[in-house]
């Protein structure tokens, strides 16, 4: 894992922790960005961890680009030794897989898809050797996912499946991006899952929809009153498959202000996870019971 630094114009430093995605690369990004935050360097205006990289925006009138670079390299040298343990949250996200709304949308954009004769779930199940829609849902919801980046648009989480690389679901992005995606669509592109926080353009496969809002600019929803975006990098997500009746009931609960997300504080250790992934995941998901 070799760190690569590059300036993005005169106001950004872009740091690639690794060219390929892994939980190790994400933890490196998270530990360095946490250390940068704690260092309170004058002139730093944005600290953005991403999947296997991160970006610092700075004001070059306050700190010269080369001085900024040196600060980051010094922090990298010490942060790399930090233990890979974080205190975080596990959040249960109900998902209505194969729902009528994403189905209507995916049919509308079928000519932009690499498998126009099947749905996004059927296509992804096939290329991942999963047993149809049911086999797909079992694989998708069977293990937790790590929020390895928040962004693209407001509050949208990128999610990384916490299983062996050979069991990770992979699926290409649409051949040409759609101009429409329903709000709260559960999507997937490359090895990453996501939840579309707002309605809009998108290129990820569409697998289902959650009734649980994750972004509320008006902050009317109770659990988004502290902050308008639910997710932070480092959160852990557990998908809970639900049917149409449960979906409708949850939507009604959200609208009536009765819905509270199921979430618990947990500690996550990368080393313990790697030693026994399935056992560790079972323990993590057990925290939600």
Among 35, 63, 65, 262, which residue sits at the site for other proteins (rule: CB under 8 A)? 65
Among 201, 135, 205, CA closest to 172: 205
Among 42, 61, 111, 289, which residue sits at the site for other proteins (rule: CB under 8 A)? 61
What mask, x for binding other proteins by CB under 8 A, covers residues 205 to 244? ----------x-x----------xx-xxx-----------
Among 55, 88, 105, 181, which residue sits at the site for other proteins (rule: CB under 8 A)? 55
**Joined tokens for residue 260:** 């509270």
Q: Is 239 helix (H, G, I), strand (E, B) or coil?
A: strand
Would you count residue 52 as binding other proteins (CB under 8 A)? yes
**Joined tokens for residue 176:** 């040409």
Phi, psi angle pair for 200, to nearest 5° = 165, -165
**Residue 232 near residue 258, CB atoms below 8 Å:** no
Show Cβ contacts of residue 250 under 8 Å, excluding neighbours closer than 6 positions. 94, 211, 212, 242, 259
Site residues (CB under 8 A) for other proteins, limited to 120-179 = 149-156, 158, 165, 172-173
CB 110, min distance to other proteins, A: 20
What mask, x for binding other proteins by CB under 8 A, covers residues 176 to 205? -------------xxxx----xx-x-----
In whole angstroms, how far apart are CA 200 and each of 121, 152, 183, 184, 196? 20, 11, 8, 11, 8
Would you count residue 71 as binding other proteins (CB under 8 A)? no
Span near other proteins by CB under 8 A; candidates 57-65, 103-111, 128-136, 261-269: 57-65
Count of other CB atoms within 10 angstroms of residue 10: 10
CB 200, min distance to other proteins, A: 7
Span near other proteins by CB under 8 A; candidates 13-21, 74-82, 115-123, 132-140: 13-21
CB 244, min distance to other proteins, A: 28
**Joined tokens for residue 109:** 């954009």
Q: Is 157 helix (H, G, I), strand (E, B) or coil?
A: strand
Show Cβ contacts of residue 217 under 8 Å, excluding neighbours closer than 6 positions. 154, 228
Among 119, 191, 118, 192, CA closest to 152: 192
Contacting residues toward other proteins, per CB under 8 A: 6-12, 14, 16, 19-22, 45-55, 57, 60-61, 65, 149-156, 158, 165, 172-173, 189-192, 197-198, 200, 215, 217, 228-229, 231-233
């Amino acid at each position: 894992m070799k760190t690569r630094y590059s300036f993005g114009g005169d106001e950004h430093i872009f740091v690639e922790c690794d060219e390929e995605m892994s939980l190790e690369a994400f933890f490196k990004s998270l530990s360095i960005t946490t250390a940068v935050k704690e260092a309170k360097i004058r002139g730093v205006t944005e600290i953005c961890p991403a999947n296997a990289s991160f970006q610092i925006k700075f004001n070059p009138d306050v700190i010269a680009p080369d001085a900024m670079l040196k600060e980051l390299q010094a922090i990298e040298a010490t942060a790399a030794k930090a233990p890979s343990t974080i205190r975080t949250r596990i959040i249960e996200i109900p998902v209505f897989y194969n729902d009528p709304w994403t189905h209507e949308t995916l049919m509308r954009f079928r000519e932009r898809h690499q498998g126009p004769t099947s749905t996004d779930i059927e296509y992804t199940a096939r290329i991942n050797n999963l047993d149809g829609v049911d086999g797909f849902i079992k694989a998708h919801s069977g293990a937790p996912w790590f929020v390895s980046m928040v962004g693209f648009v407001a509050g949208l989480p990128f999610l990384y499946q916490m299983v062996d690389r050979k069991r990770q679901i992979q699926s290409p992005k649409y051949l040409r991006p759609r101009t429409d995606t329903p709000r709260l669509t559960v999507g997937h592109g490359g090895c990453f899952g996501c939840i579309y926080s707002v309605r809009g353009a998108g290129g990820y496969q569409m697998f289902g929809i959650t009734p649980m809002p994750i972004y509320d600019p008006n902050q009317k929803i109770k659990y988004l009153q502290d902050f308008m975006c639910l997710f932070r990098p480092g959160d852990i997500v557990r998908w809970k498959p639900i049917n149409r009746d449960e979906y409708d009931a949850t939507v009604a609960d959200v609208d009536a202000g009765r819905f509270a997300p199921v979430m618990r504080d947990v500690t996550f250790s990368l080393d313990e996870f790697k030693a026994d992934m399935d056992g560790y995941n079972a323990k993590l998901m057990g925290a939600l019971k």
